[in-house]
Amino acid sequence: MIPTPKPGVLDIAPYIGGRATAAGAARVFKLSSNEGALGAGAAAVEAFKSAAGALEIYPEGSAKILRDAIGEAYGLNPDRIVCGNGSDELLTMLANAYLRPGDEVLFSEHAFLVYRIATLANSAVPVVVPEKNLRVDVDAMLAAVSPRTRLVYLANPNNPTGTYLTGEEVRRLHAGLPPTALLVIDAAYSEYVRRNDYESGIEMVSQFDNVVMTRTFSKIYGLAGLRVGWAFCPARVADALNRVRGPFNVSTPAQRAAAAALKDRRHLEDSIAHNEKWKSFLVEHIRKTGLRVDDGVANFVLIHFAPQGAHSAKAADEFLMSRGIILRGVANYGLPNCLRLTIGSEEANRLVVSALEEFMRPR
Ligand SMILES: Cc1ncc(COP(=O)(O)O)c(C=O)c1O
Which residues does residue 342 pair with via DSSP β-bridges, in sequence order? 300
Q: What is the mean pLDDT of residues 16-32?
A: 88
Pairing of strands 300-304, 325-326: unpaired
Give me ligand 1 centre to Cα 114, in Å. 8
Q: Which amino acid is at 108?
A: S
Q: Which of 31, 66, 88 to mutate to test the pocket of ligand 1 (most atoms within 8 A of CB)?
A: 88
Percent of the chain with pLDDT over 90: 96
Nearest-atom number in ligand 1 for the CA of 112 is 1
Question: DSSP secondary structure string, 223-292?
Answer: -GGG--EEEE--HHHHHHHHHHS-TT-S-HHHHHHHHHHHH-HHHHHHHHHHHHHHHHHHHHHHHHTT-E
Q: Residue with the nearest Cα to atom 3 of ligand 1?
A: 188
Give me ligand 1 centre to Cα 342, in Å. 13
Three-class secondary structure assignment of 74-121: HCCCHHHEEEECCHHHHHHHHHHHHCCCCCEEEEECCCCCHHHHHHHC
Give me ligand 1 centre to Cα 227, in Å. 10
Give me ligand 1 centre to Cα 196, in Å. 23
Give me ligand 1 centre to Cα 19, in Å. 16
Nearest-atom number in ligand 1 for the CA of 87 is 11
Q: What is the pLDDT of residue 30?
A: 95
Q: What is the pLDDT of residue 72?
A: 97
Q: What's the CA gap between 41 and 269, in Å, rounded? A: 11
Residue 301, H or E segment: strand 300-304
Closest CA relative to residue 44, chosen from 269, 258, 217: 258
Q: Which stretch of 13-27, 105-119, 219-233, 238-252 has the lowest confidence by average pLDDT?
A: 13-27
Nearest-atom number in ligand 1 for the CA of 158 is 1
Residue 314, H or E segment: helix 313-322
Nearest-atom number in ligand 1 for the CA of 217 is 11
Give me ligand 1 centre to Cα 230, in Å. 11
Burial class (CB in 10 A: 0-12, 13-18, 19+), 11: middle
Number of H helices, E strands in the chain: 12, 13
Q: What is the pLDDT of residue 19?
A: 84
Q: What's the CA gap between 13 and 120, in Å, rounded? A: 10
Residue 103 has a CB neighbour count (10 Å cut-off) of 19
Nearest-atom number in ligand 1 for the CA of 89 is 9
Burial 16-42 (b: 16+ CB within 10 A, else e): eebbeebeeeeebbbbbbbbbbbbbbe
pLDDT digits 0-9 by tens, 60-83: 999 999 999 999 999 999 999 999
214 DSSP 8-state letter? E
Give me ligand 1 centre to Cα 155, in Å. 9
Q: What is the pLDDT of residue 20?
A: 86
Q: Is the pLDDT of residue 43 over 80?
A: yes
Q: What is the pLDDT of residue 129?
A: 98
Nearest-atom number in ligand 1 for the CA of 160 is 16
pLDDT digits 0-9 by tens, 253-262: 999 999 999 9
Q: What is the pLDDT of residue 290?
A: 96
Q: Which of 110, 159, 302 to mutate to test the pocket of ligand 1 (most atoms within 8 A of CB)?
A: 159
Burial 200-216 (b: 16+ CB within 10 A, else e): bbbebbeebebbbbbbb
Q: What is the mean pLDDT of residues 38-65?
A: 97
Q: Which of 16, 93, 112 to mutate to test the pocket of ligand 1 (most atoms within 8 A of CB)?
A: 112
Q: What is the pLDDT of residue 295?
A: 85
pLDDT digits 0-9 by tens, 87-107: 999 999 999 999 999 999 999
pLDDT digits 0-9 by tens, 309-318: 999 999 999 9
3-state DSSP percent of the chain in helix, strand and coil, to 5: 40, 15, 40
Which residues does residue 46 pair with via DSSP β-bridges, in sequence order? none
Lining residues, ligand 1, CB within 6 Å: 34, 86-88, 112, 155, 159, 186, 188, 216, 218, 224, 229
Q: Is the pLDDT of residue 26 over 90?
A: no
Q: Which of 30, 214, 216, 228 to mutate to test the pocket of ligand 1 (most atoms within 8 A of CB)?
A: 216
Contact 198, 167 (CB under 8 A): yes
Give me ligand 1 centre to Cα 362, in Å. 38
pTM over 0.85: yes
Nearest-atom number in ligand 1 for the CA of 91 is 4
Percent of the chain with pLDDT over 70: 100
Give me ligand 1 centre to Cα 356, in Å. 27
Q: What's the CA gap between 144 and 139, in Å, rounded? A: 9
pLDDT digits 0-9 by tens, 175-233: 999 999 999 999 999 999 999 999 999 999 999 999 999 999 999 999 999 999 999 99
Strand ordering across the sheet containing 338-342: 292-294, 300-304, 338-342, 328-329
Q: Is the pLDDT of residue 363 over 80?
A: no
Q: What's the CA gap between 235 and 177, in Å, rounded? A: 20
pLDDT band at 3, cuts 50/70/90?
very high
pLDDT band at 152, cuts 50/70/90?
very high
